[in-house]
Amino acid sequence: MQQPHKTPDFKNDTPILAIEQLHKSYQLGSVQLQVLRGIDLTIKTGEYVAIMGPSGSGKSTLLNMIGCLDRPTSGVYNLGGQDVSTLDDDQLSLIRGARIGFVFQSYNLIQQLNVIENIEIPMYYQGFSERESLKRARELAIMVGLGDRLTHKPSELSGGEQQRVAIARALANNPLIILADEPTGNLDSESGAEILSILMDLHKQGRTLIAVTHDDNVGRQAQRIIRILDGRIQQ
Amino acid sequence: MFSFRLKRTFKLGIKSLWMHRLRSTLTTLGVIFGVASVIAMLAIGEGASQHAQEQIARLGSRNIIIKTVEPPEDQDASTQEQTMREYGLTYSDAERFRNSIPDVEVVVPIRRLGQRAWYRNRKVAIEVIGTVPWYPEMAPIQLRLGRFLSSIDMHYKQSICVVDEKVVKELFAFDDPLGNDLKIASDYYRVAGVVSAQDAAPATDTLNNDVPVTSGQGGANIGNIYIPLTTVKDRFGEISIQLSGSSGRSIEKVELQEIIVKVGSMENVLATRDILETLLERFHKKNDYQVIVPLELLRQAERTKLIFSIVLGSIAAISLLVGGIGIMNIMLATVSERTREIGIRRALGARKRDIIIQFLSETLLLTFAGGILGIILGSFIPFLVTYFGRMPTVITGTSLILAFGISAAVGVTFGLYPAYRAANMDPIQSLRHE
Give the per-residue pLDDT at B169. 87
Q: Are A141 and A119 in contact (CB under 8 A)?
A: yes
- Interatomic CA distance for residues A52 and A33, integer angstroms: 21
Of B4, B353, B428, the CB nearest to A64: B428
Q: What share of chain B is helix, strand, coil (3-state, %, to 5)?
A: 55, 20, 25
Q: Taken in order B48, B50, B56, B62, is the CA torsion positive or negative?
A: positive
Residue of B344, B348, B354, B356 to mutate for A, most A C-beta atoms under 10 A = B348
Give the per-residue pLDDT at B207. 41
- Interatomic CA distance for residues A93 and B426, integer angstroms: 12
Q: Backbone phi, then psi, for B233, in 5-degree steps?
A: -60, -40
Give the per-residue pLDDT at A9. 52
With bands split at pLDDT 50, 70 and 90, how would you rate the model's confidence at A143? Answer: very high
Contact across the interface for B8 and A130, Cβ inside 8 Å:
yes
Query: Chain B: nearest CA to A179, how far in angstroms?
Result: 11
Which residues of chain B neighbour A93 with C-beta distances below 8 Å? 346, 349-352, 354
Which residues of chain B neighbour A125 with C-beta distances below 8 Å? 345, 348-351, 354
Contact across the interface for A1 and B19, Cβ inside 8 Å:
no
Give the per-residue pLDDT at A158. 94
Give the per-residue pLDDT at A12. 56
To which H or E segment does residue B66 belong? strand B63-68
Give the per-residue pLDDT at B293. 87
In order of their start, the domains of chain A are 46-64+99-234 (3.40.50.300)
Q: Mean pLDDT for each consecutive 10-residue tract of chain B (434 residues)? A: 70 85 89 88 83 78 86 56 75 86 88 87 89 85 89 90 89 86 90 82 40 41 87 83 61 86 86 88 86 84 83 82 89 92 95 93 91 90 85 84 85 92 93 85
Q: Give Cα separations from B173 to A26, B143, B384 (angstroms).
A: 101, 19, 36
Domain spans, chain B: 2-55+300-432, 63-264
- Tell me whether residue B20 is exposed, middle or buried, using C-beta atoms within 10 angstroms of its C-beta: 0 to 12, 13 to 18, 19 or more: middle
pLDDT cut 70: percent of chain A above it: 94
Pairing of strands B223-228, B181-184: unpaired
- pLDDT for A175-221, tens place per residue? 999 999 999 989 999 999 999 999 999 999 999 999 998 888 888 88
Contact across the interface for A110 and B427, Cβ inside 8 Å:
no
Interface of B with A (CB under 8 A): 1-2, 4-5, 8, 15-16, 19, 340-341, 343-354, 427-428, 431
Which residues of chain A neighbour B8 with C-beta distances below 8 Å? 124, 130
Which residues of chain B neighbour A120 with C-beta distances below 8 Å? none
Long-range (24+ apart) CB contacts under 8 A made by A185-193 are A185/A105, A185/A213, A185/A214, A185/A215, A186/A105, A186/A106, A186/A107, A186/A159, A187/A159, A187/A160, A187/A163, A188/A159, A188/A160, A190/A160, A191/A158, A191/A159, A191/A160, A191/A163, A192/A160, A192/A217, A193/A217
- Interatomic CA distance for residues B27 and B3, integer angstroms: 27
Least confident of A5-19, A105-119, B257-271: A5-19
Give the per-residue pLDDT at B303. 86
- Interatomic CA distance for residues A66 and A72, integer angstroms: 10
Give the per-residue pLDDT at B3. 61
Query: Chain A: nearest CA to B359, how far in angstroms?
Result: 15
Q: What does the radius of gyration of chain B's CA atoms come to, in whole angstroms? A: 33
Q: DSSP 3-state assignment of A50?
A: strand
Contact across the interface for A121 and B2, Cβ inside 8 Å:
no
Closest by Cα among A69, A107, A89, A118 to B356: A89
Give the per-residue pLDDT at B214. 37
ipTM for the whole complex: 0.93
At residue B229, what is the residue type?
L
Closest by Cα among B228, B274, B207, B222 to B110: B228
At residue B87, what is the residue type?
Y
- Interatomic CA distance for residues B45 and B310, integer angstroms: 10
Q: DSSP 3-state assignment of B2?
A: helix
Q: Are B34 and B374 in contact (CB under 8 A)?
A: yes
Span between the terminal Cα atoms of chain A, in Å: 44
Which chain B residue has the Cα nearest residue A1? B1
Contact across the interface for B349 and A64, Cβ inside 8 Å:
no
Average pLDDT, chain A: 90
**Who's near B102: CB < 8 A, 6+ residues apart?**
none
- Interatomic CA distance for residues A175 and A157, integer angstroms: 25
Instruction: Report the DSSP beta bridge partners of residue B112.
Output: B129
C-alpha A221 chain-centroid distance: 17
Contact across the interface for A129 and B4, Cβ inside 8 Å:
yes
Q: Backbone phi, then psi, for B260, in 5-degree steps?
A: -110, 130
pTM: 0.71
Contact across the interface for B348 and A121, Cβ inside 8 Å:
yes
Q: What does the radius of gyration of chain A's CA atoms come to, in whole angstroms? A: 17
